[in-house]
Amino acid sequence: MFCDKPSVNQLTALMLAHGVHHVVVCPGSRNAAIVHNFAVCETQGKMTLYPVTDERSAAFVAIGIALAVNAPVAICVTSGSALLNTLPAVAEAYYRHLPLLIISADRPEEWIGQLDGQTLPQRNALMPYAPTFQLTEDNLAWNNRMLNEALCRLHKPCSEMAHLNVPLSEPLFSFSTPSLPTERVVKAFWPKVENPLPTEIVDAVAMARCPMLYLGQYESGILPEVAQLDAQNALLVMAEPISQQHLTEHLSLLDLPNFHPDLIIHAGGNTVDKRLRLFLRSCEAKVIRLEEGTDFVDTLSHLDSIVYTPLQTALRQLLSLPANANVAKLKEQCKATPHSKPLVWNEECAVSLLRQSVKDKEVVFHLANSQSVRLYKGNVATTAQQKVYCNRGVNGIEGSLSAAVGYALASQMVNYCIIGDLSFFYDGNALWNQQLKGNLRVLLLNNGGGRIFDHLPGLSASMAQGPYVSANHHTSAEGLCQSHGAHYLVAHSEEEYIRLLPQFTTEESDRPMVLEVSF
């Protein structure tokens, strides 16, 4: 039996109709009727539920699940501040165009500001990242329109989010409705243009002395057009490791005196390589932005044109470009310029050894901000069967482990989370999950604080650097792992790390495994 709240039954029916089958559920009384309906759907094989107690972690878990299943994911929270705890992850998902549906139960509006528990204004609480679609308890026609409009947003090419606020008055716990209602389902279509790039832009790229494709974070999969453009020397391709494109990076370009691109096609999301980004800003090349969303993006400060288009469609149009002699020459110079360096025992070495040990395996890497994502750029090439994700949208240390947890929950692949100590301990509640399996492996790089801050020019002159900025500590993950039932390994030296690495990467386990490396 479903609950006896008409608005909740409408919500459930239309979520199924719009293909929302994965839901992260958080505990609470006000949202219990909604969770009850979802649980009934799970028994019918129509939904998969992921219970997470901490809403701050739960919303990042939803991000990980969305990446794993490549489909919209809902998160259901109770009333009050529970909704506010999802905001960091909502902001992250907004900048990565991930289709999250945030469902909050609400209390009667007349009790806001009247000292009634867990009651606060929930409309527009997630703006400007996710607009609120407010349901009612009695206007079913209104609810149908709000629900269809919100759910259609999830399937846009740029995957916009929505917040559904569901007011529920008492009594809350009555479950006697035998079936869900038949609701009007509104479908939306976004036709794609075959050749979205204007002729003048294609001609400008063809005539450029040294045209370049600069691709940032991209999570929709491999774009074969990128590899083709690189192979035919039509463009000098620079793809970040978190772009999923698995190209050999032209790491020596910035050391070449004749590297001065005059036209840059900029695509994808956030980037990691700060040195390259600052260089491209300084070279004053004409920039053409290929934008899959609706934003006006001028990352390199020299934007000439912006084309709102599906990226793959635009890149396919560029395959007709001829080879560029200057691009070919620069790539040859890169090959002849050694850029690898011998590794001493440090965090970068630990990451490289892990990558080397699984280089031929089909695995997923999750990189925490912000030292870990930089350490990943090393001497080992990522293979085509490996995926790389990072909360690079707007987040700092929060949610990195939770996003990896979400992906592991929704995936059968082995997931390696490379994470620093501040990120790990901040998000340690992510391991508080009985559904976790042994396909989550966490490489914890514990150097006693935020060591990335040691590289900031001038900060060492401040007495605040160690205790306050870097947050120096002497914390171990052993107790936390014991509390949450995770297998714990620890290495205090390179020799111990090398000895434990085969166990970490090959041993079967029914629970997550944490390898803490102390530096």
Is the previous residue joined to 370 through a cis bond, with omega within 30 degrees of 0? yes
Q: What sections of 311-442 are H helices per DSSP? A: 311-318, 325-336, 347-357, 371-375, 400-409, 421-426
pTM for this model (two decimals):
0.90
Confidence of residue 251 (pLDDT cuts 50, 70, 90): low
Contact indicator for 58, 433 with CB cutoff of 8 Å? no
Residue 384 has pLDDT above 70, yes or no: no
Q: What's the average model confidence in pLDDT over 211-218? A: 96
- pLDDT value, residue 342: 59
Cα–Cα distance for residue pair 334/328, rounded to 1 Å: 10
Q: What's the average model confidence in pLDDT over 351-370? A: 93
Q: What is the mean pLDDT of the chain?
A: 92
Give the closest residue to 455 by CA, choosing from 364, 375, 339: 375
List the end-to-end C-alpha distance of the chain, in Å, as a whole number: 56
What are the tens digits of pLDDT across the range 232-248?
999 999 998 899 887 75
- pLDDT value, residue 86: 98
Q: In this predicted structure, which of 120-134, 252-266, 380-394 has the lowest mean pLDDT?
A: 380-394
Give the closest residue to 92 by CA, choosing from 129, 55, 52: 129
What are the tens digits of pLDDT across the range 180-194?
999 999 988 887 788
Tokens (6 digits) for 331: 């790539």
Q: Which amino acid is at 184?
A: R
Cα–Cα distance for residue pair 478/500, rounded to 1 Å: 16
Cα–Cα distance for residue pair 504/482, rounded to 1 Å: 17
What are the tens digits of pLDDT across the range 413-433?
999 999 999 999 999 999 999
- pLDDT value, residue 52: 97
Contact indicator for 248, 381 with CB cutoff of 8 Å? yes
What are the tens digits of pLDDT across the range 59-74?
999 999 999 999 999 9
Cα–Cα distance for residue pair 135/325, rounded to 1 Å: 60
Contact indicator for 311, 291 with CB cutoff of 8 Å? no
Contact indicator for 477, 446 with CB cutoff of 8 Å? yes
